[in-house]
Structure 1
Amino acid sequence: MTPPPTPSAPLTVATVQATPTPGDVAGNAVAAADLVRRAGGQGARVVVLPELYLCAYHPPTLAADTAGTDVVADPTGVVADPRLDPLRAAARDIGVSVLVGAAARHPDGRRTIAALVVDRAGTVRVGYDKQQLWGDERDLFSPGGRGATLLVDDWRLGLGICYDGCFPEHGRAAALDGAHGYLCPSGYLAGSEHRRDLYYAARALDNTMYVVFANAVGGADPWRFNGGAAIYDPQGRTLARGADEGTAVLVATLDPAALAATRAAHSMLADRLPDQGGSRVTLSD
């Protein structure tokens, strides 16, 4: 594989950990807009909020009130829900791109765990639907059928959601599509700190790309989340990390020179064999 061109300029990004209110899409959109404005005030041009943030990751509420917790996408993926107007205004006023989790209802009736993209003009669309559903999510949602890469300036940013990032193949598919970074809105429950801190650092090093991991925080058991939002460099080193409790907006700058130097020194993407590990023999002692 020939690595994609290195971006021409740094990109400042923000990852968020916060506690949404179950079922309150309008209220959570207002809170999200405030968090985006905080991030923009620190120079961020891309802001990542947690998985299902707009409705909250709370399966009892998601099961009981599908109409109230879903946002509806048109056939082109655009979401016109007026409850999201404060978030549209924040993105437009500051000139940032926002990735935020939602339950999306598609024209064919599918309900997905979606990453909505709010662009700098304030348009909201479904950017990506979670492909790897975890546990009882399968009772409420349908899996997405494709990967996605978000282009911001000349940075290519692969999209994943939570459990997607537990599969090395998912991050690798983003890297093979030319990703320089990987954005992962997530919802990790209390008690999962070891896995939370391992998976996304590993995806960064596996693919020599930046990783931006957002997470919910707080809430009531058994749906209590553990924060730890983080930004990792292309060697899996932590550039910013939140605590296990409390709201936080964490900002770091993605440096194209560091990306290029890492890929020159650790050339796994370039050295990858076409059929890596595909032809095998079994040995006995």
Structure 2
Amino acid sequence: MTFPLIPPPAAPQRRRDVRVSLVQAAFEVATQTHDPRDRNLAHAITAIRAAARSGAELVVIGELFLQGPGSSRWAAYYSTRLDGTDPHVHELEKLAAELNVTVLIGCTSYGPALDVHNTALVISPGAGLCGTYHKAHLASFPYRHGLSAEQSYYAPGADLTPIAAPIGRLGVHICYDIFFPEAARTQALLGADLLINLAAAGEGFEAYWDHLTWARATENGMWYLMSSVVGDSPERGYFGGSRIIAPDGTTTARAKDTVEDIVTATIDLDAAQQMRSQLHMFSVRQPRLYLPISRARRGGHTPGRQP
């Protein structure tokens, strides 16, 4: 008696490949008499079209790009409106629909009480402005060229919920948020498919971006995209360093430093499954041990005293 040969199982179909582009772009800065949004938007549109020609489904442009990093003192004059009336948002919505791409771009935006946020806009081809993220951790520290004083100009965000887009659920955060591993971990636990940081990576902080992007990717077993602006503002220079980090920490693509660049790669969102099944960074968590980090208190724990 003979038995029919059983064919080997077919290779799993990779259904979650996404083509992503990080636009590392220079910008104009606002002054009391100059609104840079029209020219910054035109520059962004040119870059988004170039990325779309390379097959990009997701295009990411860095922190505060529409108004220009270094324009904080004029944010109350030139911020983006999120109520459906903003012409720059309308232009991006039309472009996303025309090119069938999802666009993330940084700006300042008005809050409901006319305060101002450091914001990431998420604009999809089908839904237009489908989500916003307001920077939660506002930098306030000295550095070699001066003082970062975001808390003087912006209201902090209060939500880390991933934003639903055609390519998946996006865990969006902005620049200094990367220093807080709780932010990326919270987005991962809430079901984000990938983590995206819109940055204005300042000169002198290169080593931080090398290490922290690797750490946020590997500790969550997720793709981590960091897209920075490049150039100079009255506050500081920005070196760029935009990059795509795989769930295993491999740098898949990286922009050139100090110059405009676009980096594009195809990423497999399902790669996270392999990393998490091997390293078990979620299944062996012990949340009861971490309760102190959720207590609303300022400062660190004083040695020798009970928290």
- Normalising by structure 2, report the TM-score: 0.81
User: Per-residue deviation at 1:154?
Assistant: 5.8
Q: Distance in 2 between matches of 1:257 and 1:122?
A: 25
Alignment partner of 1:204 is 2:217 = yes
Say whether the 8 Å CA contact 1:127–1:148 is kept in structure 2: no
**Bigger RCO of structures 1 and 2 (CA < 8 A, at least 6 apart):** 1
Higher deviation after alignment, 247-256 or 268-277: 268-277
Residue identity in the other structure for 2:17: P
Which residue in the other structure is 2:185 paired with? 172
SS in 1 for 2:20: strand
Runs of 4+ in 1 over 3 A off after TM superposition: 83-86, 276-279
How far the C-alpha of 1:149 sits from its partner, in A, is: 0.8
Aligned ranges 1:116-195 → 2 under 5 Å: 116-121=121-126, 123-124=128-129, 127-135=132-140, 136-153=149-166, 155-195=168-208
Where does residue 25 of structure 2 map in the other structure?
Answer: 18
The residue that corresponds to 2:277 in the other structure is: 264
Tell me the distance in 2 between the aligned counterparts of 1:154 and 1:91. 13
Task: Output the aligned Cα RMSD.
Answer: 2.1
Paired with 2:204 and 2:135, the residues of 1 have a C-alpha distance of: 23
Partners of 2:64 and 2:155 lie apart in 1 by 14
Partner residue, 2:251: 238
Alignment match of 2:72 (pick from 56, 59, 62)? 62
**SS of 1:148 mapped into structure 2:** coil
Q: Which amino acid in the other structure matches residue 99 of structure 1?
A: L
Q: Which runs of no fewer than 5 residues in structure 2 stay unpaired? A: 1-13, 31-35, 141-148, 293-302
Give unpaired runs (5+ residues) of structure 1. Answer: 1-6
> 1:125/1:261 Cα in 2 relative to 1: closer, same or farther (>3 Å)?
closer
Is the Cα contact below 8 Å between 2:28 and 2:68 reproduced in 1? yes
Question: What count of residue pairs does the alignment treat as equivalent?
Answer: 268
Give, as a single letter, the amino acid of the residue that structure 2 aligns with 1:130. K
Q: Please report the TM-score for the alignment, with normalisation by the length of structure 1.
A: 0.87
Change (3 A) 1:228 1:65: closer
- The 1:21/1:86 distance shift into structure 2, 3 A limit, reads same
